[in-house]
Amino acid sequence: MEKDFPIFQVMDQNGNIVSAEYKDLVTEERVKQFYSEMVRIRTLDRKSVSLQRQGRIGTYAPFEGQEASQVGTALALENEDWMFPTYRDHGAAMVFGHSLRNILLFWNGRNEGCVPPEGKKIFPPAIPIATQIPHAAGAAFAEKQRGTKNAAICYFGDGATSEGDFHEGLNFASVFHSPVVYFCQNNQYAISVPISKQMNSATIAQKALAYDIPGVRIDGNDVFAVFVETEKALERARNGEGPTLIEAMTWRYGSHTTADDASKYRDQSESAMKRMETDPLLRLEHWMKNEGIYDEAWVKEIAEHAAAEIDAAVQEMESFPPADPAVIFDYVFEKPTWTIEKQKREYLEFLGGEA
């Protein structure tokens, strides 16, 4: 199966173009756009880990190492498209125009963090694994019924493909030709379980065969490969040709969340090696150096700009009063059931408040 689903690349890890038909796509302007966006989201990620360690936000899910997969997909979207992220795709949401302040508010436990800017169709981050996959199929089908050309992208990890929601969502999308791109960031571990222990399939892309939809496998650290295949899949979706499953082979350097310790189940020397050899930002730096256009002053400037932008968003986030945990009872159902009301009353009594 791996021969039937080869890993597609545009640019190899040394910054060399290996798919000649896309050579014109890899321009100085494009490389700098992709690079600067990846610097922005990596800066957010590192800052967020630091904030969690200081107790300024709650448990956080890092994504460093997966920047190419998130930037390449987000930049392929049109403004009216839908985005269905997981708890690890705030980099993609940031690139697609989500409020940085609200992204941080989400990690600080406030409901405002689930609210995208006016006009942006960004679903709240899915915490339960794979539940957003059927949602994306339905939202995309609704766009089709309305007669628009809008499409949806749905993110998930390799672990989600072991959930029933994955199969239900892909089956629905296939049957009804929903204009949706299913984008799997295969970072090769579902928390502590390596992919070899959670499935017997050689690839995730081959799972598309069961639903008679295209399945492609790409180098998820090659931002151009990500952009090219996502754009192709979105074009198919807009043309009424239905969904596509993309498997992006990538790697997350850090732990599953800040509440996890990856060294307990994963050889961290492998992460160190991948950081030196296959890092998505390093790949673009190689290209710029190969072309003689690498500019240290520019790299420093965009890093400083990203840090200032994120520091400003942190100040905004911290200007809000602390989150009220009692609101979790208010949004389970449109009208609270007696059981929810009882739980809220008991919670308030426990705190010494009034029901």
Residue 252 annotated as catalytic: yes
Residue 5, both tokens: 């689903």
> Which residue in 42, 98, 256, 283 is the catalytic one?
256
**Residue 58: CB partners within 8 Å, gap ≥ 6?**
52, 107, 108, 109
> Which residue in 42, 90, 110, 252 is the catalytic one?
252
- C-alpha distances in Å from residue 103, one per residue of 44, 55, 83, 95, 125: 10, 17, 14, 12, 10
Residue 265 annotated as catalytic: yes
Query: Using CB atoms within 10 A of its CB, is residue 243 exposed (0-12), middle (13-18) or buried (19+)?
Result: buried
C-alpha dihedral sign at 27, 30, 33, 39: negative
> Which residue in 22, 265, 294, 347 is the catalytic one?
265
Name which of 36, 29, 115, 64 is nearest 293 in CA terms: 29
Name which of 67, 63, 36 is nearest 222 in CA terms: 67
What residues are labeled active site? 252, 256, 265
